[in-house]
Amino acid sequence: MLELSLTAAFLVGLLGGGHCAGMCGGIVGAVSISLPNAKPKVPYLLGYNLGRITSYCIAGGIAGAVGASSFFLSHVLPIEKILYALASLMLILLGLYLSGISAVLTRVESLGQRIWKRIQPYGKRFMPVQNPAQAFGLGLVWGWLPCGLVYSVLIAAIATGSPLQGALLMLAFGLGTLPTLLAMGLAAVRLKSWLQQPWVRKVSGFAVLAFGVAGLCRLLALN
């Protein structure tokens, strides 16, 4: 199968923890800090992350459906291979970005800013967060935040050519990001400072880059 495997998607989410801390760490920290000390934080953090991952799955399902509709051109163009090559290139750019070598990926993220400006105001309806249900709603909104990490896996979801497989791929990716963002809510400042250390960013970045290079090599081998 050409599409990114579920295991690889999970590892990309896990290794991209530093990027997640930068993109979503602020809102997660705000949810955590705004709670009274007497309230347990875990249900709220789980609610937020469940909402976020739900949005990822919806996006993955849509991406898979787009892939399925485009595969009718497979007799004209090698659509699946083109999408897989693009997903691998996105992972390489992501690895370079995470390691601090290149910021080209930020230009890709900027493409979603117009849509995000329309979606973001809905998040204010759930602030301040008073219960886990509101945290879930806030996560649903923030799941659409423009993110190169998400976009990289979404392209792979398109390449699956299946709404179900696309949703499962994004589910695996979302679960990979879960440990970092849960920990961010419980120890926001300490964890964020650790994730932003140069050596952590480089190790994570080169690991994600390796997924992209391996994907291109696999594609060449198939050809």
> Tens of pLDDT along 73-85?
555 557 777 877 8
* Counted domains in the chain: 1
Would 113 be classed as within a structural domain? yes
Residue 182, SS3?
helix
Amino acid 193: pLDDT: 63
Answer whether residue 143 is part of any domain: yes
Whole-number pLDDT of residue 223: 63
Task: Give the torsion sign (CA, 86, 109, 4, 215).
Answer: positive
Would residue 100 count as lying in a domain? no
Task: Check whether 202 has a pLDDT greater than 60.
Answer: yes
- Split at pLDDT 50, 70, 90, the class of 2 is very low
At a CB cut-off of 8 Å and minimum separation 6, what does 102 contact? 93, 96
| Tens-digit pLDDT profile for residues 127-184 | 888 888 999 999 999 899 888 788 888 888 888 888 999 999 999 999 998 888 887 7
Q: Where are the alpha helices (DSSP H) in the chain?
A: 6-15, 17-34, 42-70, 79-98, 105-110, 113-119, 132-142, 148-160, 163-186, 188-195, 198-222
Q: Which of 183, 151, 153, 188 is nearest to 168 (CA)?
A: 153
User: 174 lies in a domain?
Assistant: yes
Q: Does any domain span residue 66? A: yes
Range of the domain at 121: 6-78+106-197
Specify if 171 maps to a domain.
yes
pTM of the model: 0.82
Cα gap 98→19, rounded to integer Å: 7
* pLDDT (tens digit per residue) in 31-84: 766 665 656 778 888 999 999 999 999 999 999 998 887 766 555 557 777 877
Q: For position 210, what pLDDT does the model report?
A: 86
pLDDT value at position 26?
A: 65
Task: Flag whether 118 is in a domain.
Answer: yes
Structural domain contains residue 68: yes
